[in-house]
């Protein structure tokens, strides 16, 4: 396969190097949504060049906690990348950035809409010389020309504006944000899906395209059943703590020594639950026979279940209920979550050598969450730890200033 930038991939070895081997990603994004999308592409074998301002990605300073001099926030979404400092405010930096964009397969950016066009890096400008470019633009509230284009997009603000905070937290309590920047995460995933779709279309047509996704749109899409309930009934949902608005019991239930997460999705599972706790009569009660009936009489249902569950510790109930096929689990902290995943054989942690003066000393290890993807023929790989600021500037700039077709940057 011959790429438009002159790189050549040997089909016999490309899959071994990853599904996106030979794909050059110009990453002009910062913070979380864009960097997460480009890390996904890097894990899949793409060569990613992270273009940074001389002050670096904002998240390099988002701490504590730090690992060495690098924030753990930055470390979470920036493996498998090179860092090149290119100051777009200077002629040299802007020129090198355009060279990178003209050789790239994919460009990802989350500047204010229209701002990159000032440096000759807008989609229409680049598509004129690089028609195969897949250009992904991430915004807070919409692209150039929309009423929300000038609004800054931060996850917390979007969680508030999109209604997510209003349906999160204890019933009757204050609006509550999710414990991670979930809107950024979902936006990054949508961006990665859009990029992969555009690469698939490019394989057929030979042309790239503009991919746009906003935090607000991704947040609204993430409301799924809650959004559907509002759109089809006109009634806005409300926060219910750990309870599900449409399923019961689907919540945390008190046991002898703590709470247990129980997710009963159908009437058969409910009967198994009742039998396991030693009270078949609950399953035969007309108030609880069907799921709609259980939702209507949830408070009394929970009272009866918790009376039985209070006889044993949560860990014993987990073992008993799982043995008969009732979906349940402990309420873990983050440390216990990783321990559970390890016991389940999921290999959830990636450990890479530290990057010199950045994340600890050169011998120190940087740990990150493994990709959840498992591909049988083109597995994900972890080739580079998150880079210190500007670590690869000299290499990248020298390559950009070598006339094309240049030998590719080593993807390893």
**DSSP code per residue over 19-58:** TTTT-EEEEE--TTHHHHHHHHHHHTT-EEEEEE-TT--G
Alpha-carbon dihedral sign for residues 307, 310, 311, 315: positive
Is the separation of the CB atoms in 104 and 25 below 8 Å?
Answer: yes
Cβ-based neighbours of 233, under 8 Å, separated by 6 or more? none
Tokens of 178: 């999710």
Find out whether 181 and 153 touch, Cβ atoms under 8 Å. no
In the residue annotation, 9 being an active-site residue is answered as no
CB atoms within 10 A of CB 233: 9
In Å, what is the CA distance from 271 to each residue of 252, 267, 284, 285, 296?
A: 18, 6, 9, 11, 18
Q: What are the structure tokens assigned to 92, written together? A: 């040299």
In this structure, the number of other CB atoms found within 10 A of the CB of residue 310 comes to 12
Catalytic residue among 27, 57, 96, 184: 184
Residue 264: strand, helix, or coil: coil
Q: Cite the active site residues.
A: 184
């Amino acid at each position: 396969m011959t790429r438009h930038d002159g790189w050549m991939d040997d089909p016999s070895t490309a899959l071994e190097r990853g599904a996106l081997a030979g794909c050059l990603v110009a990453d002009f994004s910062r913070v979380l949504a864009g960097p997460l999308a480009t890390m996904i592409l890097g894990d899949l074998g793409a060569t990613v060049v992270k273009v940074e301002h001389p002050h670096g990605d904002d998240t390099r300073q988002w701490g504590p906690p730090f690992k060495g001099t690098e924030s753990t926030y930055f470390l979470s979404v920036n493996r498998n990348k090179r860092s090149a400092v290119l100051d777009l405010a200077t002629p040299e930096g802007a020129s090198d950035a355009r060279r990178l964009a003209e050789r790239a397969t994919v460009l990802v950016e989350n500047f204010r809409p229209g701002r990159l066009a000032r440096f000759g890096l807008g989609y229409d400008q680049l598509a004129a010389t690089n028609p195969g470019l897949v250009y992904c633009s991430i915004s807070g509230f919409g692209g150039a020309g929309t009423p929300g284009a000038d609004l800054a997009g931060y996850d917390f603000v979007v969680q508030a504006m999109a209604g997510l905070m209003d349906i999160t937290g204890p019933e009757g309590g204050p609006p509550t944000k999710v414990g991670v920047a979930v809107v950024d995460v979902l936006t990054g995933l949508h961006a990665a899906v859009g990029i992969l779709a555009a690469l698939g279309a490019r394989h057929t047509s030979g042309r790239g395209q503009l991919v746009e996704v906003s935090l607000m749109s991704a947040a609204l899409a993430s409301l799924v059943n809650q959004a559907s309930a509002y759109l089809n009934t006109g009634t806005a949902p409300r926060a219910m703590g750990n309870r599900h608005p449409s399923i019961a019991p689907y919540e945390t239930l008190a046991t002898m020594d703590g709470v247990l997460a129980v997710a009963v999705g159908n009437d058969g599972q409910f009967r198994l639950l009742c039998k396991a706790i030693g009270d078949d009569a609950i399953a035969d009660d007309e108030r609880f026979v069907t799921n709609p009936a259980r939702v209507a009489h949830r408070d009394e249902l929970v009272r009866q279940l918790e009376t039985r569950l209070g006889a044993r510790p949560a860990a014993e109930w987990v073992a008993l209920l799982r043995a008969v096929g009732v979906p349940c689990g402990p309420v873990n902290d983050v440390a216990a979550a990783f321990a559970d995943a390890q016991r389940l054989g999921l290999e959830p942690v990636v450990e890479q050598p530290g990057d010199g003066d950045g994340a600890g000393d050169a011998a120190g290890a940087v740990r990150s969450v493994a990709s959840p993807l498992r591909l049988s023929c083109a597995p994900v790989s972890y080739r580079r730890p998150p880079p210190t600021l500007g670590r690869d500037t000299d290499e990248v700039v020298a390559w950009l200033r070598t006339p094309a077709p240049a030998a590719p940057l080593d993807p390893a």
